[in-house]
Structure 1
Amino acid sequence: MSPTHIDASTRELARKLRRDQTKGEKALWRALRELKADGIHIRRQAPIGPYVADFVVFSCKLVIEIDGDIHALPDQLQHDERRTAWLSAEGFQILRYSSLQVHENLEGVVLDIRRWLDLD
């Protein structure tokens, strides 16, 4: 499945995830929206092929993920590995941050993303 072919169930999941964002996702989204002034267009809860990325910058094929505690569970770890492999095969780079990192050091997370995007 290519990144441009999105089935209806994935689109509906993305809509649901946009409505039900975590506190960390909401906080990071508010900060990332400010990158628009730097010419960076970021989408949140964006479908890519069979998956939904927390945040994506399609222009440079960057996916930003915020991982909560559930990502430490064995089934979720396997799912994340398959997802990362698929996204990497499609040319995406993945930056992962824990929800704790976002909660305790939002400024540092944003600075790291800005550096990755060559904005600082």
Structure 2
Amino acid sequence: MTEPEVMLWSRLRRRLPDEPVFRRQHPVGVYILDFFCPTARLAVEIDGHLHGEDAQRAHDERRDRWLVSQSLVVQRITASSVFEDVDEIADGLRILAASLAGQKP
């Protein structure tokens, strides 16, 4: 895991009642998701600087299309955003996951 993934996982891994559960490094088809919330069908990808390059961007778009075709919601987050405010990112992902799962955030 990259540093921003470790930072985010340290917040997402906690298991509290009535909060969505996240998994890390979760396989879906031929892909490994950075994070996945099964009840929300939410795939979370942390994008570093390489994701701005044309070839990587094209790969990410193909991957996202396939994941969406599997009825998943894909949320891409820049690594720099995680460094700026990891708690805000984690809280936002929990709220999004709860909303997608039909739970009260």
Q: What is the TM-score of this pair, normalised by structure 1?
A: 0.77
Specify the alignment match of 2:83 in structure 1: 103
List aligned pairs for 1:35-114, cutoff 5 A. 36-38=15-17, 39-114=19-94
Give unmatched runs, 5+ long, in structure 1: 1-20
Q: State whether residues 46 and 78 of structure 2, in contact with CA within 8 Å, keep that contact through their aligned partners in structure 1.
A: yes
- State the alpha-carbon separation in 1 of the partners of residues 43 and 97 from structure 2: 12
- The 3-state SS of whatever aligns with 2:76 is strand
AA paired with 2:48?
G
- State the alpha-carbon separation in 2 of the partners of residues 111 and 59 from structure 1: 17
Identity across the alignment (%): 32
Q: What is the TM-score of this pair, normalised by structure 2?
A: 0.87
Q: Name the one with the larger helix percent.
A: 1
- State the alpha-carbon separation in 2 of the partners of residues 79 and 31 from structure 1: 28
- The 3-state SS of whatever aligns with 2:82 is helix
Higher RCO, 1 vs 2 (CA within 8 Å, ≥6 residues apart): 2
- State the alpha-carbon separation in 2 of the partners of residues 84 and 22 from structure 1: 20
Specify the alignment match of 1:22 in structure 2: 2
What is the alpha-carbon root mean square deviation over aligned residues? 1.3
The structural deviation recorded for 1:107 is 1.3
- State the alpha-carbon separation in 2 of the partners of residues 84 and 32 from structure 1: 22
Q: How far does the alpha carbon of each residue in 1:68-112 deviate from its partner, in whole angstroms, 9 at most, with x for none?
A: 001001110010000000000000001111000001111110121
AA paired with 2:28?
I
Give unmatched runs, 5+ long, in structure 2: 99-103
The alignment of Structure 1 onto Structure 2 pairs a total of residues equal to 99
- State the alpha-carbon separation in 2 of the partners of residues 90 and 40 from structure 1: 20
